[in-house]
């Protein structure tokens, strides 16, 4: 019987539901369910036909051994761990599940409000017995900068208009060729450069794919001392040492990142103005149901010989291995 590998997310009791159980029952009708291991090796490859993946690293050696594997469906949109090039060489489809944009957009808006209202500072002061009244800000008198205007950036743009009102300003930087037209849909202006975006914004929210560092000390130094940087995307987009230094030097006030305090972010531990969350922005009760459903739908399609949605490596469809099973 073929095997279907599942991320540990499916076993998280926080998100147990009848819909999830129905989905798992459906997968059991297609194959034997096995857990995605923390460390994936070629020994896990025999009889594996599909995987709904999260954080394991998919190596060339694994793909070479996984001769029956048709699809690796990412439970989410990050794909740095699944080795797209190796998958393509070995005839494995990689898909993503971009169904959690609403959750991430709401997180960004919530953090924008929390930083303007200095919620984290006021909470700390109150718990310390300091009941001072401090300076906070209204959204309608500020400029919100969006670095990136893809799916999630546009979901943020949709939501912030009523909060910015007539006096507030939405500023967007993106390299896409149609950015002027996209920005106009949301009543936004286009920033000429990242430096301009950071210099003119009271809050900057990052909505960029990939894992390369794009925010360093020079860019952070363009910000205003009261301004905040929100990063719901990837921790590595921002140089952790640089943002730590910039806050120490009062170049900006808050940094919010949706990544845990580990690895390079261990430097932020217990910092009162650096807020770290556990890469939870896109994970809600509702988005988890959508992520489950889309991943199950994608692997079902591949197992049944159909082309799944949201293929990241469409060139793989010409691979002899894929052509041998793809019937639609």
Is 3.40.50.720 the CATH classification of the domain at 3-99+284-325?
Answer: yes
Does residue 229 register a pLDDT over 90? yes
Q: How confident is the model at residue 54 (pLDDT cuts 50, 70, 90)?
A: confident
Encode pLDDT of 83-134 as tens digits: 999 999 999 999 999 999 999 999 999 999 999 999 999 999 999 999 999 9
Residue with tokens 């975006």: 197
Q: Which CATH class is domain 101-276?
A: alpha beta
Q: How confident is the model at residue 282 (pLDDT cuts 50, 70, 90)?
A: very high
pLDDT reported for residue 38: 87
Encode pLDDT of 80-93 as tens digits: 889 999 999 999 99
Residue 262: both structure tokens together:
């580990």
Which one, of 66, 90, 50, 61, lies nearest residue 320 by Cα? 90
Phi, psi of 80 (to 5 degrees): -70, -25
With pLDDT > 70 as the criterion, what percentage of the chain qualifies? 100
Q: Spell out the domain ranges in the chain.
A: 3-99+284-325, 101-276
Average pLDDT over residues 244-253: 97
**Alpha carbons 302 and 50: distance in angstroms, whole number:** 8
Which one, of 191, 152, 153, lies nearest residue 169 by Cα? 191
Q: How confident is the model at residue 55 (pLDDT cuts 50, 70, 90)?
A: confident
pLDDT reported for residue 211: 80
pLDDT reported for residue 285: 92
**Higher-scoring residue by pLDDT: 17, 217:** 217
Q: How confident is the model at residue 205 (pLDDT cuts 50, 70, 90)?
A: very high
Q: Do domains 3-99+284-325 and 101-276 have the same CATH topology?
A: yes
Q: How confident is the model at residue 263 (pLDDT cuts 50, 70, 90)?
A: confident
Does residue 78 register a pLDDT over 90? no
């Amino acid at each position: 019987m073929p095997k279907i590998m599942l991320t540990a997310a499916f076993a998280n009791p926080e998100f147990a539901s009848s819909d999830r159980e129905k989905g798992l029952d459906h997968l059991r009708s297609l194959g034997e369910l096995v857990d995605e291991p923390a460390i994936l090796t070629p020994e896990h490859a025999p009889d594996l036909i599909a995987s709904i993946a999260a954080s394991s690293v998919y190596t060339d050696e694994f793909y070479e051994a996984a001769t029956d594997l048709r699809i690796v469906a990412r439970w989410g949109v990050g794909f740095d761990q699944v080795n797209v090039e190796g998958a393509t060489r070995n005839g494995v489809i990689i898909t993503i599940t971009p169904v959690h944009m609403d959750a991430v957009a709401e997180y960004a808006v919530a953090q924008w409000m929390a930083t303007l209202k200095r919620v984290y500072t006021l909470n700390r002061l109150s718990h310390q017995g300091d009941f001072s009244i401090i300076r906070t800000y209204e959204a309608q008198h500020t400029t919100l900068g969006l670095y990136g205007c893809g799916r999630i950036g546009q979901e943020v743009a949709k939501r912030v208009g009523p909060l910015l009102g007539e006096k507030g300003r939405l500023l967007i930087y993106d390299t896409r060729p149609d950015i002027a037209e996209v920005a106009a849909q949301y009543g936004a202006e286009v920033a000429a450069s990242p430096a301009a975006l950071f210099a003119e914004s009271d809050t900057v929210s990052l909505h960029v794919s990939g894992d390369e560092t794009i925010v360093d000390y020079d860019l952070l130094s363009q910000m205003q001392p009261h301004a905040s940087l929100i990063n719901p995307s990837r921790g590595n987009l921002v140089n952790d040492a640089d943002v730590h230094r910039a806050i120490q030097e009062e170049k900006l006030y808050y940094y919010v990142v949706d990544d845990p305090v580990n690895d390079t972010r261990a430097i932020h531990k217990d910092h009162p103005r650096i807020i770290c969350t556990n890469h939870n922005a896109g994970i809600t009760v509702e988005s988890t149901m959508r992520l489950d459903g889309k991943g199950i739908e994608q692997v079902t399609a591949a197992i049944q010989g159909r082309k799944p949605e949201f293929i990241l490596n469409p060139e793989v469809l010409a691979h002899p291995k894929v052509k041998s099973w793809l019937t639609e």
